[in-house]
């Protein structure tokens, strides 16, 4: 089984973002975390443009799997569990 490349665009203070991170961590799913509110303005602006490609509403969390093959917006537990085959 190949590992999926997962990026979570999040905010450090977002409760839904924390739930998504906790769910993936609890099931040993590796991900790259980009917390936009902890970055300098230039980096944040670049990442916001990236988020817009996958989620025009720019809401958080935005979970991007395998370069956009799957995009999950918000803490959508059923969608996350389905994507990662979590029971």
Q: Where are the domains of the chain?
A: 6-83
- Cα 24 from Cα 4, distance rounded (Å): 12
- Cα 65 from Cα 31, distance rounded (Å): 9
Q: For strands 70-73 and 62-65, give the pairing.
A: antiparallel
| Domain 6-83 architecture | 3-Layer(aba) Sandwich (3.40)
Arithmetic mean of pLDDT, 40-58: 96
Q: Tell me what pLDDT residue 1 has.
A: 41
Q: State the distance between the two ends of the chain, measured CA to CA, in whole angstroms.
A: 17
pLDDT over 90, % of the chain: 95
The pLDDT mean for the chain works out to 95
Arithmetic mean of pLDDT, 54-77: 97
Arithmetic mean of pLDDT, 38-60: 97
Q: Which two tokens stand for residue 34?
A: 């980009």
Q: Tell me what pLDDT residue 87 has.
A: 87
Q: Tell me what pLDDT residue 3 has.
A: 81
Query: What are the beta bridge partners of residue 70?
Result: 65
Query: What are the beta bridge partners of residue 72?
Result: 63
């Amino acid at each position: 089984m190949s590992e999926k490349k997962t990026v979570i665009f999040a905010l450090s203070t977002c409760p839904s973002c924390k739930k998504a991170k906790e769910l993936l961590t609890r099931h040993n799913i590796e991900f790259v975390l980009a917390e936009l509110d902890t970055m300098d303005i230039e980096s944040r602006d670049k990442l916001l443009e990236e988020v817009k490609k996958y989620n025009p509403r720019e809401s958080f969390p935005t979970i991007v799997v395998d370069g956009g093959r799957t995009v999950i917006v918000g803490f959508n537990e059923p969608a996350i569990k389905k994507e990662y085959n979590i029971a």
